[in-house]
Structure 1
Amino acid sequence: MLATISQQANHSIAQFARPLPYSVDAVWAVLTENDKLQKWMGNLEIIELRKNGKIHFNMNDGTDAFEEIAIIDFIDKEVLAFEWGTDTVRFEVSPTSEGCQLRLIESIHALTEHTAKDLAGWHICLNLLTDLLNGIVHNEFPMDDWQKRYTDYQLLVDNSKA
């Protein structure tokens, strides 16, 4: 299922919702424990898991280069939000009768040519996260799947601008 994009007064909100048949604890672990996190989002490394803590976005180019990302909101086993360039990304985990609901909400300052790339990337990363919970580990990022989703998100972003 594709994300939805809604317009706010001075920004856009892209929202992914994934019902998962797993406990909040299991989903929180894949979001916040580096050995699991890096299996679905290989660039991220949590350094200080707390509000005003930090995450590294590792370039993974052999140079040890990284960008530091600030954690702007944190509630243990409920909310992890961080800067994403000029935007913000927020993960929310809440229990349901079947497991839990995972929401990824990106607040987007301006819809640009890069927005569809980011949204396609988050879409694939959420698929990888779900696969990891199901016991499937991918050794490579599925670029063919990303390309298909990128096309979908280009259309979605273009329609959201209209």
Structure 2
Amino acid sequence: MLADIQKAEKGFTARFERHLKHSVENVWAYLTENEKLARWFSELSVDDLREGGSIKFDMQNGTFEEMKITALDMQAVLEFTWGEDLVRFELYPEAEGCLLVFKEYINQMTSHTPKDLAGWHVCLDVIAALLDEREVVSRMEEWKKWYEQYVHAVEKFA
């Protein structure tokens, strides 16, 4: 299911939801433990897990971009800067697992926005697959499929 994209007071919000049949603790580990984080987003690593701390993005050229953790509630909320935007993971316990809500607060729609949204979509699907011990055969093929849909989804905001 595509993210719900809405015009916000400032910019836009994209909201993704995934109902996972896994505990908040297990899902949180995939968001914050570098060994597990690397399995779904190899360029990211948690450097200092605290509000005001940082997450690093490996630019694959010997440099790193530091992203500031702007909100942290252990086992519940992880929010950090993403370029000019913010991304936020929220976890809510459910009877048979948990609800993972991912939001991207987008300052301005650009030609890169559909790429990011498709990327986050695939990342969330990969987290679910890893938790379920399933394999995602081709992340790139999945990304291409979702990218086209996000291009159309953001056109109405251009």
Deviations 1:56-105 (A, max 9, x none): 0012x3x4321111000000000000000000000000101121000100
Please name the residue that 2:41 is paired with. Answer: 41
Distance of 2:87 and 2:98 partners within structure 1: 19
Contact 1:39-1:137 at 8 Å conserved across structures: no
1:155 aligns with 2:148: no
Q: Which runs of 5+ in 2 are unaligned?
A: none
Listed as ranges, the matches of 1:7-156 within 5 Å are 7-59=7-59, 61=60, 63-136=61-134, 142-156=139-153
Pairs aligned (count): 158
Mapped partners of 1:85, 1:124: distance in 2:
19
Q: Which whole-Å CA distance do the structure 2 matches of 1:141 and 1:65 have between them?
A: 27
C-alpha separation in 2, matches of 1:106 and 1:35: 24
Matched to 2:46, the amino acid is I
Q: TM-score, normalised by structure 2?
A: 0.95
Cα gap change, 1:137 to 1:49, in 2 (>3 Å): farther
Deviations 1:134-155 (A, max 9, x none): 12356x8611111111000000
Amino acid in structure 1 at the alignment position of 2:87: V
Distance 1:141 1:51 in 2: 35
- Cα distance in 1 for residues equivalent to 2:29 and 2:118: 23
Whether 1:5 aligns to 2:2 is no
